[in-house]
Structures are given as C-alpha cells and as structure tokens.
Amino acid sequence: MTKDKSVHLENCPCPLGCKDGDEIVLVGHDRLYGLAGEFQVVRCLGCGLMRTNPRPTPETIGFYYPEDYGPFRGTRVNLSTSDKTLPRWKQIVRKLFRFNTRLLPNMKVGRLLEVGCASGAFIYKMASLGWDVEGIELSAGAANAARALGLNVHIGSVETFSRPARSYDLIVGWMVLEHLHDPVGVLKKLASWADTEGWLVLSMPNANSLEFRLFKEKWYALQLPTHLYHFTPQTIRMVLERAGWKVERLFHQRVLYNLIASLGYQFEDSRFLSPLAKPLISFPENSGYWNYILYPVAYLLSTVGQTGRMTLWARKADD
C-alpha cells in the first residue's frame, strides 16, 4: 500500500465493537486531488458498516486536506440570506422543488451548533432568522472568515471543544460525520450537549445507492482517504443508536451531484471522453439550474432510496 512519507497509517477496528472480521470491498486512491496513496474500503462482516482501513492517523490526515480543499473555500456567504429578499417567482420555485439537502425539523428558534461550519454560510443565515448560533471548524482560515462576519466560531474539533454552559436545541453537521476518526465518540459527546428535546440533523453520502454500486472506486462521494466511513441507511442508524440517538426521519436527497461527478471520473480514464471529465467532476460546485432540470430523475431515484446523499433527523434516545 503506497502513501506519502509524511502520512502514517493506522488500523481501526469496527467502531461498533464487532469481532467478526472484515471483507475488502474495493481499493482506490485520492481522485479529488491526485495525492499519493492507495486505500482499501472494508465491510464489517458483523454489522455491515464500511470503513477506510488502514487509514491516515488524525495527526497526518491533514496532508489530504490542502488549503484549497472545497469545503474550506466553497462557502461564499450571501449577505442577503433570507428567502424573503428573493423575487416572488424564486420563492415559489423553492417551495416547489424540495431537494432535501438541508432540511430541518419544524421547531422554535433556539440555540444552534454547526459542526464543521466552514466559513459560516449556514449559521449566518440561521442567525438572520433569529437563532443563537455557534460553529466548530478545524480550518483556521475558514473559521476566521466566519468570525469576520461576527459569528461565534471555535477553531478545533468536537473532541477539543469544552462543554457548553447551556445545551443546544439543534446540532447540525452537513457532510461531516464520514470524515471523523471516532464518529461514535463524537456523537456521544454531542448527545451530552443537546437539550432533552433537542434535534441532531446530519447529511452524508449514501453507500447503499445505485451510483455506488455502478461506479465503485470511481464513485465521487467515496473521496478516499478523507472519507473514513461509508454509511448506509442501516449502518448510520446503528451508529447513532450506539451513541445514544434515535433516528426519527431519514430523507434521500433529490440531487444527482455524485452521479454526474462520478461519470466525470469514469470519463477521465477514457481516451475519447476525457475532455468531458473536468466539467462533470466540477458539477457538485456548479450545478445551478441543472438541479431543476434533473429534478424529475432525482425525485424518482429518491423515492426508492437510490440517490447518493441522505439527510436524517435524530433525537436523544430514552434512557
């Protein structure tokens, strides 16, 4: 298994404590930036949870997060964030097209924590709606950009964050959990910070999707080795339950980001189709009106649970 000399690998057991062994699902590399290293995804024979193993250690995985890593830079904040400022026709379109990407429970305004808030686009909008917001962000550059907007953002991780003085009514993490070395431990800590009636809202890739089975190591959402876990609806429920949460709702997002970008990876290796690869790979960041054009297909795939991303709502389980 090749890797950069500055990266150290570690073996990780199943976080659910299974002792049944693993099977290799696939072997791949970093397609996002083309950085050195070859990594395997294994599936636990006990619970079915897939993980990257061996994986870069917490101390050295930063090699695979360069300064221009998408989530660090791709969160331009629109200072006119309220839907009320949009033209009437755009408000109607937004109501008609429900992509389920950042879907929130119907709840009163309260205290909100975003884990992995980048430069603060989401919490900035929520603050404009009256929420008392905080964020946690590993990237100092992204966190400082959020702070420049007047947002209360802590540089670091959940593991290094002190227990808050008051509990949170809502904790969110958009495409974050799959990056964590210890998802169960982090989720347990978040449960201790949440109000008794509080909500946890997460989004993540769906490794039980048709696109994962079609593209395998060329699946855009695989993103080795920064994605350390590859969840399915079944395995994320087990992980959350182990951490003291109960999934209340699970939504399959009505977008085709991963599918289109995966075609780009497929074309990248083709002699004749390679010129088409780059625009397809950048589709998740530049989808724009294509989301609306492709909505009927995404809607149909979501109804059978086969789109590549999912959003879930969870609450603390009864003791």
Over residues 227-265, the pLDDT tens digits come to 999 999 999 999 999 999 999 999 999 999 999 999 999
pLDDT at 2: 46
pLDDT of the residue at 89: 61
Q: CB–CB of 188/214 below 8 Å? A: no
Q: Which fold has domain 90-108+167-316?
A: Rossmann fold (3.40.50)
What is the model's pLDDT at position 102?
Answer: 86
110: Cβ–Cβ under 8 A, 6 or more apart, which residues? 131, 132, 168, 169, 170, 195
**Given a cut of 90, is residue 88 above it in pLDDT?**
no
Q: Which amino acid is at 200?
A: L
* CB count in 10 Å sphere of residue 187: 24
* Choice between 13 and 83, residue whose per-residue pLDDT is larger: 13
pLDDT of res. 74: 46
Beta strands 132-137 and 153-155, pairing class:
parallel
Confidence of residue 304 (pLDDT cuts 50, 70, 90): very high
- Buried b / exposed e over 68-97, threshold 16 CB at 10 Å, is ebbbbbebebeeebeeeeeeeeeeeeeeee
> Mean pLDDT across the chain, nearest whole number?
91
CA-nearest of 40, 98, 102, 36 to 66 is 36
Cα end-to-end span (Å), the chain = 44
Determine contact, residues 258/213, Cβ cutoff 8 Å: no
Q: What is the mean pLDDT of residues 170-193?
A: 98
Pairwise CA distance, residues 217 & 146, whole Å: 34
Sequence spans of domains, the chain: 90-108+167-316
DSSP E strand boundaries for the chain: 9-10, 22-29, 38-44, 50-52, 55-56, 111-115, 132-137, 153-155, 168-174, 194-205, 229-230, 245-252, 309-316
- Euclidean distance between CA atoms 238 and 133, whole angstroms: 29
Q: Which two tokens mark 133?
A: 């917001």
DSSP 139-153: -HHHHHHHHTTT--E
In whole angstroms, what is the distance from residue 262 CA to residue 260 CA?
5
**Rounded CA separation 121/76 (Å):** 7
β 22-29/38-44 pair status = antiparallel
Residue type, 42: V
To the question of pTM greater than 0.85 for the whole model, the response is yes
The stretch 302-318 carries a mean pLDDT of 95
Residue 101: exposed, middle, or buried by beta-carbon count in 10 A (0-12, 13-18, 19+)? middle
